Structure 1
Amino acid sequence: MEDATPSRTALGVARMRALHQFSPQAGLFRDPYAIAILGEAAPAAQELEQEDERGRLMRLFVTARARFAEDWLAVAVRRGVRQLVVLGAGLDTFSLRNPYPDLGVFEVDHPATQAWKRNCMADSGLAEPPVTRFVPVDFERQSLAAELDAAGLRSTEPSFFIWLGVVPYLTREAIFGTLSWIAAIPGSEVVFDYSEPAENRDAAGRAALAYHAARVASVGEPWISFFVPAELTKSLTELGFDEIEDIQSGDIAARFSGAPKAMTSNSGGHIIRARRTA
């Protein structure tokens, strides 16, 4: 992604979330603002008819990971967590749908992408929520901790971090730097997604990886980091996380009633939750 250009893949994800609202599986993740925030860039219902199988499975994975993250957030709020940090927020709309009056929301994203989002909201007539703070950060060049501290995050209190659709685009140094900082805050929790490398996949999984990797690379936002599940779990444990749940794409259908059987195929994508309990 160019420094002065908003993320093209963030737009793609937002369009998938919007298109999902027209689909038979809309109940998996309902988002009343997904279409509105896109304005003229929003998809029409008819686009579902042109969706191929790879596109459908990616859309379902994108919406399922958001559903998992917000379900886990609800548990954390019941436990007493009062700070949410959305890392690489893109056009995420949780801050507009936030059902928790005392949950402070910090949206972190690349400066160009965040400015674009705020313009999208203004153009769509969507008011910025008063409990949301926008924090522009370049993960590869700036200190996440310092920028959030300046924005008012209480770093001695637990926070819930949602980090979706970002990790594959970052270097391992940036990824583990962020995870190490989160793990240093007792009671904090992070949800993120990742992909397994090609050598860990079957033929269908390798084909899917090649297809999607080529698409994101073509817009200048290549995937550069992949993880082997057991090795990642070991690394998270070494950082201090002591409660880890890793869900591969093929297990999503088993978690949600009404999820299509096609989601039982393991594509190499994972959704993971890691918490430091003490």
Structure 2
Amino acid sequence: MMITDRPTATRRRLLTAARCRYAEDRLADAITAGISQLVLLGPALDTFARHNPYPGLHVTELTDAQFVSAASGFDLRAPAFLIRLTGTPVPRGPGDRVPLTTTLRRLGSGAAGSEIVFDYLPERHRFLPEFLSDRGFEVLEDLGAAALASRYLDRPVEGYSGEPRVIRARVRHNFGHPPSQLDSDRGDPCARTPAVTRSPPWPPSRPR
């Protein structure tokens, strides 16, 4: 049975589980590379700290608002791995009222080598690739539902575009990077569509 044949709620649970598995796999890669602190943002993986299999990994659970306000519990000066999976296209709770791009700006001002895995809806964040590039990030992967289902669920997804995509990005460098023109707009720049600008093709090309 294809995932598209399943009830919507079941399909979404399966794809949410695939995004969580992807995030944990990339965390394992980051730990192997030497990162020793994890910041969990949002409702997904909320039980990870209780079953953390990595003895040397420091885990901090924060809302976006706490992260942006530099809450204690982690060192932004040292490389960190962040996981921000909303698990739903609709923001939930006071900590989710902080725009995604505000969280990314904060991380981009931290240590080079930090990584983040997060999900997003393309229709709400049309200019996310440009924003990430302008803030000093390298996009390592940008996966949709079909790619995640093929990798983790061993079954195809066709004709369904309502699920969030998931991005893995790394901070290339910090302070001093020229801001994007989008960055000067009020609100969430990735959610805006300038009248004279057409949306770029999707998905964006990956770095070689």
Q: TM-score, normalised by structure 1?
A: 0.53
Deviations 1:38-95 (A, max 9, x none): xxxxxxxxxxxxx952112101111011001000000000000000000014672111
Gap runs ≥5 in structure 2: 174-208
Which residue type is aligned with residue 106 of structure 1?
T
Task: Give a deviation string over 1:79-126, Cα, whole Å, max 9, x none.
Answer: 0000000001467211122111000000113xxxxxxxxxxxxxxxxx
The code of the aligned residue for 1:73 comes to L
CA contact under 8 A between 2:114 and 2:171: conserved in structure 1?
A: yes
Whether contact under 8 Å (2:20, 2:45) holds in the other structure is: no
Per the alignment, residue 118 of structure 2 pairs with 192
Q: Residue 137 of structure 2 aligns to a residue in which SS?
A: coil
Q: Is 1:182–2:107 an aligned residue pair? A: yes
Structure 1 residues 143 and 93, CA, compared in 2 at 3 Å: closer, same or farther? Answer: closer
| Alpha-carbon distance in 2 for matches of 1:95, 1:259 | 28
Runs (4+) off by over 4 Å: none
Q: How does 1:147-162 map to 2 (within 5 A)?
A: 147=71, 150-151=72-73, 153-162=74-83
Q: Which amino acid aligns with 2:166?
A: I
Is residue 68–residue 102 contact of structure 2 (8 Å, CA) maintained in 1? no
Is 1:271 equivalent to 2:166 in the alignment?
yes
CA RMSD in angstroms, aligned pairs only: 2.6
Q: Tell me, yes or no, if the aligned pair for 1:252 and 1:264 is still in contact at 8 Å.
A: no
The normalised TM-score by structure 2 is: 0.69
SS at match of 1:162: strand
1:235 counterpart = 2:160: no
How far apart in 2 are the matches of 1:168 and 1:61? 16
Name the structure 2 match of 1:103.
Answer: 57
Task: Name the amino acid aligned to 1:83.
Answer: Q
CA spacing shift, 1:53–1:253, aligned 2, 3 Å: same
When you count helix as a share of all residues, which structure comes out higher?
1
For each residue in 1:3-33, what CA deviation from the matched residue of structure 2 results, as whole angstroms up to 9, or x when unmatched? xxxxxxxxxxxxxxxxxxxxxx9xxxxxxxx
CA–CA separation in structure 1 for the residues paired with 2:131 and 2:140: 11
Aligned partner of 1:72 in structure 2 is: 26
Distance 1:267 1:61 in 2: 12
Deviation at 1:165, TM superposition (A): 0.8
State the structure with bigger RCO (CA 8 A, min sep 6), 1 or 2: 2
Decide which of 135, 142, 145 is 1:249's aligned counterpart.
145
- Contact 1:249/1:265, CA 8 A, preserved across alignment: no
Change (3 A) 1:98 1:91: closer
Seq. identity, %:
35
Where in structure 1 are there 5+ consecutive unaligned residues?
A: 1-24, 26-50, 110-136, 198-225
CA shift in 2, pair 1:58/1:165, >3 Å:
same
**In structure 2, distance between residues paired with 1:76 and 1:87:** 17
Q: SS state of the match for residue 158, structure 1?
A: coil
3-state SS of paired residue (1:196): coil
Rg comparison, structure with higher value: 1
